[in-house]
Amino acid sequence: DQQVKQNSPSLSVQEGRISILNCDYTNSMFDYFLWYKKYPAEGPTFLISISSIKDKNEDGRFTVFLNKSAKHLSLHIVPSQPGDSAVYFCAASWGTSGSRLTFGEGTQLTVNP
């Protein structure tokens, strides 16, 4: 039972354009969502997060949008840079589970120069 899904295994965009990575979840108990970035043969690094009491959180070039009614969140990167090329994982947690995260399958983002 995949509670967090990233339906696009890959995404390719041109440098300078916007990258939009999508994530859907099924468990309505989730109340905290995170995005992690992962390079090959390395552990994931935290990128940005959002609480369910918000619908948007912005940090520099990265913005996460949350649509609770649709159980959908997205990560926008603008402008995209070649160094952004990596696998992006969406993750979710709820209540006192705190750091017990449920991850999506990941989306490979490639930003072409």
Partner 1 sequence: GAVVSQHPSWVICKSGTSVKIECRSLDFQATTMFWYRQFPKQSLMLMATSNEGSKATYEQGVEKDKFLINHASLTLSTLTVTSAHPEDSSFYICSANDRQGANTGELFFGEGSRLTVL
Site residues (CB under 8 A) for partner 1? 2, 4, 9, 32, 34, 36, 41-46, 49, 89, 91, 93, 98-106
Q: Rounded to an integer, what distance in angstroms lies between the CA atom of residue 51 and that of residue 77?
A: 19
Q: Closest approach of Cβ 48 to partner 1, in Å?
A: 10
Measured from the CB atom, is 79 or 103 closer to partner 1? 103
Q: Closest approach of Cβ 17 to partner 1, in Å?
A: 25
Q: Closest approach of Cβ 110 to partner 1, in Å?
A: 15
Measured from the CB atom, is 77 or 88 closer to partner 1? 88
Measured from the CB atom, is 9 or 82 closer to partner 1? 9
Which stretches does DSSP call E strand in the chain? 4-5, 10-14, 19-25, 32-38, 45-51, 56-59, 62-67, 72-77, 86-93, 102-103, 107-112
Q: Quick check: 66 and 52 in contact, CB under 8 A?
A: yes
User: Is the bond preceding 44 in cis, omega lying within 30 degrees of 0?
Assistant: no
Residue type, position 81, single letter: Q
Measured from the CB atom, is 78 or 94 closer to partner 1? 94
Q: Closest approach of Cβ 62 to partner 1, in Å?
A: 14
Helix, coil or strand: residue 95: helix
